Chains A and B, each alone.
Chain A
């Protein structure tokens, strides 16, 4: 922390004015400003969707059917990004869609994180047969054609928010296991861990008090890098019709809605895609940045 603060002060006390392109560029390269702004906007619009959105996201209107964005000749400021095939405002749907995206990906990530970390800790600490079994389960999991399985689960247990979260959590956990296991393997031979064992600390206590703090950096980095994947997976499921049920706005569903109107109303598909893309890209940027700061040895986590 001390090093970071000296870096910033030397940066700001630079003799050249801060607004020169070169200064701005180097500042943007050093700090993930743009990704953080994008993510703040995402969280903000997810929480205050009701207030920000200019229109009701599920209100249909025949007059506004496929209405173009406002910079077109026929466009109005009523529908800044146009309206979809049922006359619903695209911008409002994107803002409300942020809510679904944020909710599902956060819950799925946290549950996946807990399970994955648990397995990783256990595999690394106990080793032997348990380790072997966990490794095999992870391998099987990776071999499953995820999309087919996810669609089957959604069909079997119902197309609800909860099921969707569970399905995505199921895809999130293997990413954590391998890296955490590897780190635990090195941590368990450290002197302080051996001391704790000598002092007859219980396994649970060692795992949670001594090992877990050592892997939090890794958890944080993988989590940031994985959320993007989860958002993409959720969008893909929605796109294939196995995601959020119909009237609720979700980005993947919106893209799918616009498929049949590409020649007449491209904005229905294009703008939600841009939303997905900017959020995932920001998360990836942030993840890369965190990784370089916290744990450069994780370069291979993609």
Chain B
């Protein structure tokens, strides 16, 4: 229910905003290259349905959506659903790669930093977290391109015309996961510190349990809860990073097409569709976090 309301509210906001960007018919007709008569404009308005009040338009969009139709793009008149389906794979791959990067870097470093509190490792890890939270992802992308693509030539700088390989994922995935990695690190560290300080950990150590078992079996599972709950906030950061990464690395995904065609060319059906997809990804991730929460902590039961 909550997911439904969120999706509804968010698409409504984007729909209304994108329609305020001015009359889409003008953009549309300008690109046709011929002079247009008043009558043509009116006909086009009627055809696109933009002559009706905004609320009615949104209602129409919703009722179309309920029938599985996301409308057609203004430019090229393709089905929005088709465009999104074409791009969805690339977006999903990059999103997963970015999330993996954030988790694989953030969580172990957070544990290390908490376990070896006050040591050089702790300072290094905290330095990484501060650095990660203070640097814009797009700047990291550019520095990455500068070092690894331009200077060293190890990695490709974009997707222009080359053969596709896992190497292409490295820099975009780092761009997507950059901010979230720092977030995971900080959350894991503070949660781990709290748990390591508790009575049952001290008891486990006192009875001679191996330190590794204490950390991973006793402490880690309990500490994981906090990063998981807060990770919903990090997902938003991941999706923002996604849009930035797609536009920097010419990644053929939804974020790029939404930004280039949906926003700059005022192709509002496409934009609204893309936003809907992003919201669905976000909500799906939130749901996944909720489910994982129950798996990790068996005390939590959903009825």
Chain A residues within CB distance 8 Å of chain B: 136-137, 139-140, 142-149, 151-153, 155-157, 228, 232, 235-236, 239-240, 252, 255-256, 258-259, 262-263, 266, 269-270, 273, 276-278, 280-281, 284-285, 299-300, 302
Contacts and interface: CB of A to CB of B under 8 A. Distances in A.
Interface residues of B, number: 56
Nearest to B244: A236
B278 A273 contact: no
Nearest to A258: B142
Contacts, number: 151
A256 B139 CA distance: 9
Nearest to B240: A147
B275 interface: yes
A228 B186 CA distance: 16
A153 B17 contact: yes
Nearest to A269: B142
B107 to A, nearest CB: 15
Contact of B239 (A145, A152, A156, A235): A145
A165 B91 CA distance: 30
Contact of B243 (A136, A139, A147, A157): A147
Q: Pick from B10, B187, B282 the residue with the most CB of A within 10 Å.
A: B10
B20 A255 contact: no
A259 B158 CA distance: 12
B135 interface: yes
26 contacts: A136-B5, A143-B236, A143-B283, A144-B279, A145-B239, A145-B282, A146-B240, A148-B255, A148-B271, A148-B275, A151-B259, A152-B263, A155-B266, A232-B136, A235-B136, A240-B244, A252-B138, A255-B139, A256-B138, A262-B142, A262-B145, A277-B131, A277-B134, A281-B134, A302-B183, A302-B230
B279 A147 contact: no
Interface string B106-135: 000000000000000000000000110111
Interface in B249-270: 255, 258-259, 262-264, 266
Contact of A142 (B139, B146, B187, B233): B233
Given A145-B243, A155-B266, 6 more contacts: A136-B6, A143-B282, A145-B275, A280-B134, A280-B135, A281-B134
A149 B262 CA distance: 11
B9 interface: yes
Given A156-B21, A228-B134, A255-B138, A236 B143 contact: no
